[in-house]
Structure 1
Amino acid sequence: MNQKTNTMRLIWPLSPHADPRREGAPLRPDQDFPVVHRVPTSVSVVLADAQPAIRHGVRSVLERSGGISVVGEAATADEVIEEMCRCRPGVLVLDPQMDGSAGAKVIPEVLRLWPGTGILVFSAVDDDQAITSALQAGARGYLFKRADADQILRGIQAVAAGEAIIDKSIAGRLGALMRATSGQQYYYPFPQLTNRERDVLERIAAGKSNGTIARELVLASKTVSNRVSVIFGKLGVADRSQAIVLARDAGLGHG
């Protein structure tokens, strides 16, 4: 993953409304490296936002990209359903705040009617409840409206490919957010990691060296070194100190 970006690709436990064929597909627990998805050669998108200027700006970005076509626009919750029915897009880019409480109900309704749809939330709201509600309802991605053109494109490509993507600023508190809103059911804060990588990260967060980790996990030092590099890439961090901060902020390494 590009370490300069502000988004993180994740494998997320989606809502019961989501298509079970895509849940967890990019990574299997017994793998150290992600399975490469084929991004559709042409992605159709419906833009749903109350502000015409936002829709125009995103449309301009997408039309210049090639391979992504905007097939419809909506300014209200009712219009979203109408456009989804008319266009049957692969991706819905949605601001859930666009129509008050009706806008917040769009995600589960769309997934009930068209369960294969990739929903990318594009919102100015950095609110814990809004974020968790959108993800639990089945949105595959959550980006803020400060995202640049490249981040928007990658977000759409990710959800179109069945992956999940969130703004990097959310990632550090993701585990705590989901635990707080799911009856204390535990969700690992970095679900893009394999089980073996989690073992390594938890020891990194505890301040252990590669040599110590190798001894504890009965692995070769080179294997641990390679796994650490993969972890850094998946977390979007440049070095060990950044990984430790991110992991500890998410609740690891304190035991």
Structure 2
Amino acid sequence: MSQQENTTRLQRQLPSHAEGPQGDSGHRPEGEVPPSPYSHQRAPAPLTVLLADAQPAIRHGVRSVLERISGISVVGEAATADEVLAETSRCRPDVLVVDPLMDEPTGTHVISRVLRMTPDVGVLVFSSDDDDKSITSALHAGARGYLIKRANADQILRGIQAVAAGEAIVDKSIADRLSVLIRPATGQYYYPFPQLTNRERDVLDRIAAGKSNTAIARELALASKTISNRVSTIFGKLGVADRAQAIVLARDAGLGHG
């Protein structure tokens, strides 16, 4: 598929959000009171996105999709690793969508450099490369998500929203082999949750294994209250509502098998 065809495909996959709540006509039902011109309800801040890819057609295709979504703002573009660092520093985006291979031989080093500079940004890799080495390198560098460029518009949108919420997300073709990819020969895990501290990762690994707070506290020689507080912090960072959701997310990333 050509770059132009790929761009056109992305543009067609999401419906237009131009219609208002009253439908095509914009007329209000009879008897409905229009909002007061004096009421000022502040809209939530948009989720900001920086697009980084050496190919202008890819950046244009993703931008065209995102600009049709309410609540998302594309704040910049970059074509090289140096531009990524400059634009990230300038824009401070919520999410960086990046193809790490745009600036060989730098590769995924740009991810770790971005996260050292702005640790709160969520990094979503959007690449045509799905070999094990590239995926492992990106996750190890701190990427929260990894999608292949054949992903459709809905998948791209979900990926951006997931990493913005602190969640991990990978392409379906990667998910089945993820637990193997993040466990190198040393037997130690590389966690795709860069927002967690090492201690929080230890706790999450045990949560994924189905252990209670009491059991975790005993294993880590910590007070139960300390573990309870850490569990609450982990849930907040991962954007999950309860233990069950945390377990599913962690196990999908290969945790809980140690």
Q: TM-score, normalised by structure 1?
A: 0.58
What residue number does 1:145 align with? 149
Give aligned pairs, total.
167
Q: After TM superposition, give the deviation of residue 103 of structure 1 in Å.
A: 3.8
Instruction: Answer yes or no: is the 8 Å Cα contact 2:140–2:190 preserved in 1.
Output: no
Match for 1:146: what amino acid?
R
- Over aligned residue pairs, what C-alpha RMSD do you find? 3.1
Cα displacement (A) at 1:188: 9.5
C-alpha distance in structure 2 between counterparts of 1:103 and 1:177, whole Å = 18
CA–CA distance in structure 2, aligned partners of residues 66 and 43 of structure 1: 9
Q: Please tell me whether residue 195 in structure 1 is matched to residue 224 in structure 2.
A: no
Q: How far 1:69 moved relative to its partner?
A: 0.7
Matched, 1:185 2:188: yes
**Partner Cα separation in structure 1 for residue 50 and residue 174 of structure 2:** 25
Fraction of identical pairs, as percent = 66
1:207-237 Cα offsets, whole Å, 9 max, x none, are: xxxxxxxxxxxxxxxxxxxxxxx89xx59xx
SS of the residue aligned with 1:101? coil
Note the residue ranges of structure 2 that are not aligned, 5 or more in a row: 1-43, 193-204, 212-243
AA of the residue aligned to 1:77: A
Deviations 1:11-50 (A, max 9, x none): xxxxxxxxxxxxxxxxxxxxxxxxxxxxx75210110000
| CA distance in 1: counterparts of 2:55 and 2:97, whole angstroms | 13
Q: 1:65 to 1:177 in 2, by over 3 A?
A: same
**What is the alpha-carbon distance in structure 1 between the residues aligned to residue 88 and residue 143 of structure 2?**
15
Report which structure shows greater RCO (CA 8 Å, sep ≥6): 1
The equivalences for 1:112-151 within 5 A come to 112-151=116-155
1:173/1:84 CA distance change after superposition, 3 Å: same
In the alignment, residue 140 of structure 1 is paired with which amino acid? R
Mapped to 2, the partners of 1:84 and 1:108 lie a distance apart of: 13
Q: 1:195 to 1:188 in 2, by over 3 A?
A: farther
Deviation at 1:107, TM superposition (A): 0.4
**Residues 128, 150 of structure 1: CA spacing in aligned structure 2 closer, same or farther, 3 A cutoff?**
same
Match of 1:111 among 104, 111, 115: 115
Deviation at 1:151, TM superposition (A): 0.5
1:147-186 deviations in Å (ceiling 9; x for gaps): 11000001000011111111121111111112235x2215
SS at match of 1:139: coil
Give runs of ≥4 in structure 1 deviating > 4 Å: 186-189
Counterpart for residue 65 of structure 1: 69
Give distance in 2, aligned partners of 1:80 and 1:74. Answer: 5
Residue identity in the other structure for 1:112: R
Q: 2:129 is matched by which residue type in structure 1?
A: V
Q: Distance in 1 between matches of 2:191 and 2:163?
A: 20
- Is there any run of 5+ residues in structure 1 with no aligned partner, and where? 1-39, 198-229, 236-246
Alpha-carbon spacing, 1:187–1:113, altered in 2? closer, same or farther (3 Å): closer
Q: Deviations over 1:181-209 (max 9, x none)?
A: 5x2215799x7x84339xxxxxxxxxxxx
Range with greater deviation from structure 2 (107-116 or 168-177): 168-177
Please name the residue that 1:174 is paired with. Answer: 178
Q: TM-score, normalised by structure 2?
A: 0.58
